[in-house]
Amino acid sequence: MSFDPIDHDFERGLHNRRTVLGDEWVDRSLNKASAFNADFQNLITRFAWNEIWGRPGLDHKTRRAIVLSITIALGRWEEFELHVRAALLGEAESRLTPDEIKEILMQSAIYAGVPAANTAFTHTLAILREVGEQIGYVLEPAAPASSTHSGIGREGRTTSLPALHYSVREPRCGRAPRHTVVLSHALGCDLTMWDSLANRLALENRVIAYDHRGHGSSDAPEALYAMADLADDAARLLRELDTGPVVWVGLSMGGMVGQELALRHPSLVRALVLANTTSGYPEAARAVWEQRIATVRAEGIEAIADAVMGRYFHDAFRARKAATVARFRRRLVTTDAVGYVGCCEAVGRIDTTARLGQIGVPTLVIAGELDQGTPVAMAQTLVEAIPGARLEVLADASHLSAAEQPEAFAALVTGFVAGL
């Protein structure tokens, strides 16, 4: 056969058009074609839907976002409505969630103008009222005065003392949270170390991050603390927020608090992620902690800052990501010295090894391949003592593995939480 009667450009474009907009709309559009506009329908099917939508450089989900942005900027509201409805009801791999569409509209307010975004919100709200039940999305009433930044959450402080500063991110999916996840930071850090992971987890979960006593915006009582104090602080926070059992994700000191919390307040813990942490130090290491306390008392945190960064991050990371290291260093040296010393005492005297067998919840232990502060052997002790615990070792990661290998760390945590 020397002549192929099929116009492959048209057929490819038609396939893309149906994939993006749905069969119903495309059939209706084609059935309304006439001698006057059939050429135009052929043109847009071949050029818009094949030549552009058929290019593999961007996936269909990304192209949906681009189309929505352009139609907002140009005020093409009929086309905007078409693509909003198609984005909400489209195939799973290219579908946009209401939250993702909201973010497109929010960004458009800055780059295309508030009036355009205002109109876009009006059109989108009407469509959500129409299809919300179909996609499982409920438009709950909300007061603008109580609105919070979705990347930060609602912030507060406990009424009980010492007051703890915290943030709460509600699930962005518009449904009830699958779990409540608590993120507990390392010594000399604060809740902002978890921002990226918190936002990822908050798609379907309620996520709480908080500053330990002596850190960030939490109170710093003048005393030497015990790990039991930090665990009881966490229990106070969870009870004030009425969380029920939580998935606890703790790194270094945060992992130590998680162990003690599960032992002292087992009804508050649903599962544990213990990252770059230990259940106890040998005597020689405890002496190092005592020396650190003495140095900070005599000379301030600045005197130990470079050494701490050397333990937190391996050499190659410090060279490659100097700005990240500088940010963590700045947080360390601005930590309240009294609170830092108090927590050093708690960390140096952590001792849960003999009690780990009492932990009865699913537990993921994460270690850094290059971690010298809490090496893989310490993680192995946790795994061997906690019934059913599983160990994952992150390559090319030192002590702050969540900062050095954020994607790999997040994949482990989100996968663990999703499997509960």
Reading the block at residue 338, the tokens are 């009294």
Structure tokens at 83: 């693509």
How far separated are the first and last CA of the chain, in Å rounded? 59
What's 73's domain CATH number?
1.20.1290.10
Q: What is the pLDDT of residue 146?
A: 78
Residues 191 and 292 in one domain: yes
Six-digit token string for 148: 């919070």
Same-domain pairing of 170 and 122 = no
Residue 22, in any domain of the structure? yes
Look at residues 386, 383, 322, 400 and name the one whose alpha carbon lies nearest to residue 358: 386
Say yes or no: 70 and 166 in one domain: no
**8 Å CB contact between 256 and 379:** no
pLDDT at 321: 95
Last residue of a domain, one of 71, 100, 135: 135
Residue 181 lies in a domain: yes
Structure tokens of 200?
């990822």
The CA distance from 322 to 306, in Å, is: 12
pLDDT at 214: 98
Give the Cα separation of 54 and 373 in Å (integer): 51
The phi, psi pair for 314, rounded to 5°, reads -80, 165
Report which of 15, 113, 200, 235 is spatially closest to residue 121, judged by C-alpha positions: 113
- Residue 152 is assigned to a structural domain of this protein: no
Same domain for 276 and 388, yes or no, is yes
pLDDT score for 145: 79
Query: Kind and range of the H or E element at 168?
Result: strand 165-169
Same domain for 170 and 96: no
Same domain, 194 and 108: no
pLDDT of amino acid 4: 67
Q: What is the pLDDT along the chain (420 residues), one digit of tens a residue?
A: 455 677 889 999 999 999 999 999 899 999 999 999 999 999 999 999 999 999 999 999 999 999 999 999 999 999 999 999 999 999 999 999 999 999 999 999 999 999 999 999 999 999 999 999 999 888 888 888 778 887 889 999 999 999 999 999 999 887 899 999 999 999 999 999 999 999 999 999 999 999 999 999 999 999 999 999 999 999 999 999 999 999 999 999 999 999 999 999 999 999 999 999 999 999 999 999 999 999 999 999 999 999 999 999 999 999 999 999 999 999 999 999 999 999 999 999 999 999 999 999 999 999 999 999 999 999 999 999 999 999 999 999 999 999 999 999 999 999 999 999
- The tally of domains found in the chain comes to 2
285 & 335 share domain: yes
Mention every residue, 6+ apart, whose C-beta is less than 8 A from residue 113. Answer: none
Strand partners for 210? 166, 184
- Where does residue 67 rank: exposed (0-12), middle (13-18), buried (19+ CB within 10 A)? buried
Instruction: Confirm if 75 and 37 have CB atoms less than 8 A apart.
Output: no
- State the residue range of the domain holding 200: 162-418
Residues 358 and 254 in one domain: yes
* CB burial of residue 12 (10 Å; 0-12, 13-18, 19+): middle
Q: Which residues pair with 184 in a beta bridge?
A: 210, 250
CATH code for the domain in which residue 199 is found? 3.40.50.1820
Q: Strand, helix or coil at 273? A: strand
Domain contains 307: yes
| Residue 155: inside a domain | no
Dist CA 38 CA 157 (whole Å): 64
Same domain, 127 and 252: no
Do 127 and 176 lie in one domain? The reply is no
Is 149 part of a structural domain of the chain? no
**Residue 161 host element (H or E):** none
Query: Are 367 and 307 contained in the same domain?
Result: yes
Residue 150 lies in a domain: no
- Dihedral, 354, 363, 340, 335 alpha carbons, nearest 10: 180
Burial class (CB in 10 A: 0-12, 13-18, 19+), 402: buried
| Whether residues 27 and 77 fall in one domain | yes
- What stretches of 257-395 adopt beta strand conformation (E)? 269-275, 363-368, 390-394
- Out of 117, 135, 153, pick the residue that ends a domain: 135
Is 189 among the domain residues? yes
What pLDDT is stored for residue 1 in this prediction?
47
Q: Which long-range contacts (CB under 8 A, 24 or more apart) does 383-387 make?
A: 385/279, 385/353, 385/356, 385/357, 386/272, 386/356, 386/357, 386/359, 387/357, 387/359, 387/360
Q: Nearest to residue 182, comparing CAs of 229, 242, 249, 239? A: 249
